[in-house]
Amino acid sequence: MKIGNIWTDQYGDRPENVNVDTLVVHTMYHPEDNDCFCAVKCKFWLDQCGVSAHYIIDRKGTVVQTVALDKMAWHAGESQMPYADDQRTRVNDFSIGVELLASEDEPATEEQYKSLVELTSLLMDDYDIASIVGHQHIAPARKSDPWNFDWAKLKSQLEAEVPGDLRIGV
Ligand SMILES: [Zn+2]
Q: Are strands 63-65 and 55-57 parallel, antiparallel or unpaired?
A: antiparallel
Q: How confident is the model at residue 139 (pLDDT cuts 50, 70, 90)?
A: very high
Residue span of the structural domain in which 79 resides:
3-168
Helix axis angle, 110-126 to 151-161, nearest 10°: 50
Cα-to-centroid distance, 75 and ligand 1 (Å): 6
pLDDT digits (tens, 9 = 90+) for 75-120: 999 999 999 999 999 999 999 999 999 999 999 999 999 999 999 9
- What are the catalytic residues? 99
Paired with 89 in beta bridges are 80
- The environment of the single-atom ion ligand 1, i.e. residues with CB closer than 5 A, is 26, 135, 145
Which CATH number covers residue 78? 3.40.80.10
Name the domain count of the chain.
Answer: 1
